[in-house]
A and B are shown apart, each in its own frame.
Chain A
Amino acid sequence: MRLLRLGATAALWLVAGSVLMLAAQPARAVPPFARQTGLACEACHTLPPELTPFGRRFKLNGYTLTTRPPLVNDIDDYKKNTLWLTDLPGIAVLAQIGYDHYDRAPPDTGNPYPAHAQSDTYQFPDQFSLVYAGAVSDKVGAWLQLTYNGEGGSVGVDNIDIRYSDHTIDNKFVWGVTANNYVTFQDVWNGFGSYTIPNFNTVTLYQVGVANAGTTGPIINTFGPGIVAGLGAYLWYDDSFYLEFSEYHSSFATGGTPVAESSNLAANGGVLDKFAPYARFAYEKDWGYNSAEIGVNGMYVNWIPSNSYISAQQILAANAAGNSYTPTQTFNPGAVNRYTDLTVDWQYQYNGQHNIFGFLGHVTHERQQNSDQLVAATFTSPQGGPIYSNATDNLTQFLVTAEYFRNRRFGGLVSFTRTTGTNDPLAYGGDGSPANQYETFELDYVPWLNVRFLLQYDAYQVLANNQNPFTLSNNTFPNSPGFPNVKASNNNTWVLGLWMDY
């Protein structure tokens, strides 16, 4: 039955796709960068969001390349532009819609399984964004994104990257400054960070998996909009070497003061303390149809974790000061973890006349030094409890993706992710292992470069808190009595997706 239902839905999508194909003319207008430059998507992207060598240079040059005629143009006595407004603001709509089918229905939390459990759900939309993208002046460009998140049901400020860029006449040196709110969003390669390939829906999948299964990863992956913002400077030398230094501070969607408020701690699982430096070096070599990159980056983070222990400390401190505790009271108990994340990433791209092939990924190693106040051996507070077993935890994530596209119309990818680390029962629960491992298989059909249909299958072998099938006999899922024998592969998911940019 399950297969039948899936088949019926697939057929529906196919029909819908075919109707669209028949009804629509070849897309002439595409999102704002294309409108601004007059270039088709393929100039900058293999398939969005993955960048071609040209796309990388467009971004490094501050999104400023334009061929639009100015509607308003003001020039001072020294013949410099003081205002240059295009006739067309760079507004775009990005929409992702998904249909998910789980191998096993997530438990109905209100009733014993299988009361009202469902395996199938639409993410409609999974994500819907309005974007301004394009040149602001001849040397400043911006990407400003406002997103409705289907999973959270909220509208909020999403990715932002505002950059200034200039270059020498021979392009030997290109330099710039970027202000952004997502660590790695400013990067131009796709082996790690916010635009890692695969890019469709994968976050949603493991966050809503069966029995809240987890895919613990390095903390650098989590510094997105509403949590941090930062300023960076970069240099692109000799069309090959990229060097960047950035620093990030906490930046809350709802908070205007530079403090770690309790409400924010709870909302984001913690808060960044002081500033976090980020450094990036990459080398790109292009030859023929080929482009290869190898790079490293590192980030150092002081992080105040959110936990009931913080509340306990707050109560103690408030009592000691003779005040009654209120949850909104600002208090930093000094419990700070220190994270050092080091990543090696690579990307090989063959961007031929008809064939595109990519091989990309990263290895990230994270060293997490936990605050004495939070580690079992050194924990002294009479209230609350420690939240880490070890003074130092290590985590290593490995991701590798291979992709192929024919004529930018048909294609797909295979991706493998494995994370391993120090056993820490207090931090990770269950058997204490943060390990997780999963693959993504994706088939894509791209009738137009701004419309993409995809069929994805995500297969999980190991998930934190959700147990490795090989140790299943010891680990029924403890919090769902009517839902025994949860295993990682229960989260395996089919996704039918539609991605449109206009």
Chain B
Amino acid sequence: MNKPTTRALNVAALALAACTVLGSARAADISLPPDPGARDARTLVSFACSKCHGASANGISISPLFPILAGQNQVYIATELKLLRQHGRSDPHARAFMWGISHALTDEQIDGLAAYFSSQPAVSGQPSRNPELAARGKEIYENGVAQPKVVKCAQCHGENSGGTNNVPRLAGQHPGYLKLQLHYYHDKLRENILMQRNVANITDDQIDAVVEYISTLSGAPESE
């Protein structure tokens, strides 16, 4: 029932491509903020990003409305920022906040911001206050759900949820933020065909459980 139609996917892909072309055309060499001395990432963070993503420019937001960026994977931050700049991510919060704030960023600035936030000390998870719920979440996170199918998170995000390159680190993230994103993917409000498929069948209870478990993870590199 939740299976997206091929046509819808094609339309989304076309829209994404169109946005990409339009977006890259309009993002040409605009400085933000107006002070040209403020083009370096640190100043940008201080001037703009820090208002939501951690006042002291450490990338650790207070409100779960905004994600923690400290220690996030550099490639992922850059990819998302470029998507946001070209309106290729249209979940409600992306529209309300990031579409506008990112639209004038240059590629160089985006790379600088990604490097800056990824180098900030990351936040690790905390022991769960609801071990039973976390245990159920662990099962979903590591093995997925057989029927109706929910893909296991660990496959891409790693056992400790540190992510890799284009796959985001989830460890230490605000639980409220993670839940919202899962709902967005489930409801197809946030573009990412892979994630939309992976969680197409996920229930609210399963979201609560898996987020509870992710909140306990360290994000440490896999030992192999």
Residues of A within 8 A of B (CB): 34, 37-40, 42-43, 53-54, 57-58, 61, 64-70, 73, 75, 79-81, 84, 135, 137-138, 167, 169-172, 239, 286-289, 351, 353
CB distance A171 to B96 under 8 Å? no
Instruction: Judge if B221 is at the interface, Cβ distance under 8 Å.
Output: no
Which among A39, A169, A288 is the interface contact of B100 at CB below 8 angstroms? A39
Interface residues of B in 48-67 (CB under 8 A from A): 48, 50-52, 55-57, 62-65
CB distance A54 to B51 under 8 Å? yes
Report B65 CB to chain A, min CB distance, Å.
Answer: 7
Q: Which residue of A lies closest to B57 (CB)?
A: A170
- Whether A239 touches B56, Cβ cut-off 8 Å, given contacts A67-B32, A351-B63, is yes
Report B218 CB to chain A, min CB distance, Å.
Answer: 22
Which residues on A sit within 8 Å (CB–CB) of B51? Answer: 54, 57-58, 61, 65
With the chains together, A53 CA to B104 CA distance in Å?
Answer: 24
CB distance A81 to B100 under 8 Å? no
Which residues on A sit within 8 Å (CB–CB) of B34? Answer: 66, 70, 73, 81, 84, 135, 137-138
Report A499 CB to chain B, min CB distance, Å.
Answer: 20
- Whether A54 touches B52, Cβ cut-off 8 Å, given contacts A171-B57, A289-B63, is yes
Count how many pairs of residues, one from A and one from B, have CB atoms less than 8 Å apart in the complex: 95
Which residues on A sit within 8 Å (CB–CB) of B56? Answer: 170-172, 239
Which residues on A sit within 8 Å (CB–CB) of B63? Answer: 53, 286, 288-289, 351
- Proximity bits, B94-127, A CB within 8 Å = 1, else 0: 0111011111100000000000000000000000
- Whether A38 touches B103, Cβ cut-off 8 Å, given contacts A58-B51, A138-B35, A287-B62, is yes
Instruction: Judge if B148 is at the interface, Cβ distance under 8 Å.
Output: no
CB distance A66 to B100 under 8 Å? no
- Whether A39 touches B95, Cβ cut-off 8 Å, given contacts A66-B33, A171-B57, A287-B62, is no
List 21 A-B residue pairs with CB atoms under 8 Å apart, sorted by A's residue number: A37-B101, A38-B100, A39-B96, A39-B97, A39-B101, A40-B97, A53-B62, A57-B55, A65-B47, A67-B102, A67-B104, A73-B34, A81-B36, A137-B34, A138-B34, A169-B43, A169-B57, A239-B55, A286-B62, A351-B63, A353-B176
- Whether A171 touches B46, Cβ cut-off 8 Å, given contacts A75-B36, A80-B35, A288-B64, is yes
**Shortest beta-carbon contacts, A-B, top 5:** A38-B100, A40-B96, A239-B55, A84-B34, A138-B35
Which residues on A sit within 8 Å (CB–CB) of B43? Answer: 169
With the chains together, A288 CA to B99 CA distance in Å?
Answer: 23
CB distance A79 to B96 under 8 Å? no
Which among A135, A137, A353 is the interface contact of B180 at CB below 8 angstroms? A353
With the chains together, A68 CA to B31 CA distance in Å?
Answer: 9
Instruction: Judge if B42 is at the interface, Cβ distance under 8 Å.
Output: yes
With the chains together, A87 CA to B30 CA distance in Å?
Answer: 13
With the chains together, A137 CA to B38 CA distance in Å?
Answer: 14
With the chains together, A286 CA to B51 CA distance in Å?
Answer: 13
Report B174 CB to chain A, min CB distance, Å.
Answer: 8
Which residues on A sit within 8 Å (CB–CB) of B180? Answer: 353
Report A342 CB to chain B, min CB distance, Å.
Answer: 30
CB distance B62 to A288 under 8 Å? yes
With the chains together, A75 CA to B34 CA distance in Å?
Answer: 10
- Whether A37 touches B100, Cβ cut-off 8 Å, given contacts A79-B37, A81-B36, A170-B46, is yes
With the chains together, A34 CA to B50 CA distance in Å?
Answer: 18
